[in-house]
Structure 1
Amino acid sequence: MTEARPQAGQDGPAPPRHIGIIMDGNGRWATARGLPRALGHKAGAEAARRTIEAAAVAGVGWLTLFAFSSENWQRPVEEVRDLTGLMRVYLRAEVGTLVKEGIRLRVLGERERFGPDTVRAIAAAEQATAPGTRMNLNIALSYGGRGEIVAAAREAARRVAAGTLDPAKLDEALFAGMLFTAGMPDPDLIIRTSGEQRISNFLLWQSAYSEFVFQDVLWPDYGATHLAAAIGEFTRRDRRFGLRIA
């Protein structure tokens, strides 16, 4: 990664503080080229590397990449095996670069479903990158927005049953603190690639006031130019948050 570190807003509008990306199109990219889907996922990992670098250079503080949904477990066994293997390789290979660049990694989702080897790789990567302050990188693995909300509701119910939470005191802020993203800012901008225009169970609670940009590019072809275009679209919008009538 480059060492250039421009200050957000120095030469124009500030970038979004937090960007979430639904990385879609690996399979279609591979199919269009007559390649195995596994090579599409490998190319997608390279696109993730480029996009992380571009976000850091742009001054984005938080980046959340939707890498593996809870629904992805329903894919063919061979594809799931290829995906999880690629994730383990990526975690181990990229840790040194993330540490050098000051990027802190966190994994959101039900990591235990991946097995002990992957869980250990995740924990090691999170620990090694914890001192990073340049950018926060979230990777959503075995993640689903509905499941996240249900898990938070179960935690709230557990606290009520234990007598440590008065139901009358449960508000949005307290509930948000029980989500995977506790302590993180909500995404200002959510991007989806491949031309699809849906959010596919991604950050449902957190995206209540997010801006959405849908880009007609398959994820393996994504890079700095596409991210800059999405950020440019974001900065041109007037975000009212329901506070005034146009």
Structure 2
Amino acid sequence: MKVDAAAAAVQARRDKTVRFGLLSSIKAVENRSDEVMAQETEEEEVEENLNVSQIKQHLFAALQGINRGIFGVPSAKKSEIQNLVELLESQNPTPQPTLCLEKVAGAWKLIYSTISILGSKRTKLGLRDFINLGNFIQTINVDQGKAVNMIEFSARGLNLLSGRLTIEASFKIVSNSRVDISYQKSVITPDQLMNVFRKNYDLLLQIFNPDGWLEITYVDDALRIGRDDKGNIFVLERIEIC
């Protein structure tokens, strides 16, 4: 009987220890959850208090080293960029951009896009080792209702051959913030570069074809953001072309 009582006492102490340990673990998890929630709330409050200039600084920093996102971006980085884009959109100084198209006229350089060239597409186009992507320049002529996209390329091993894909499109206003874009024609120059892409020219156009609608979600004197009917985001900065 004494042995049984002693064993029961030992088991009771063990049960108490287990319960205490379990409660401590639960409390620790709750504390960590509270800390995470507090940190997230603090970060959200900081973001909400950022002005446009500060948001841009954060965005430009986030875009460093990702080659405009064209060859893919880690999910965490992509989420960071999207959050900053949305913050800028929420402070758009030109909510009805098609009513003042002079804001979008001129030349723009693409600095980020969710369009990506991955896997077999990248291999077929020679964009892994053979061909380098240069600047993406868009020129908008408001008076003519036309946009010209120029994508620069350079090919290794061909005496540093360089050239461009030029895509011309027309656009028409369909709302205070949206335009419909229609592909007109395209060409690759010089001919030597066209010969490099000829076999996969349709694939190249499929990637860069501007057909569809574009929502202008942010525009000021230096930066423009758009979203198209395919769910893509485009961030461009204004440039001067001599």
* TM more than 0.5: no
* Structure with greater Cα Rg: 2
TM-score of the two chains, using structure 2 as the length reference: 0.25
For CA contacts below 8 A with separation 6 or more, give which structure has more relative contact order: 1
Greater share of residues in strand: 2
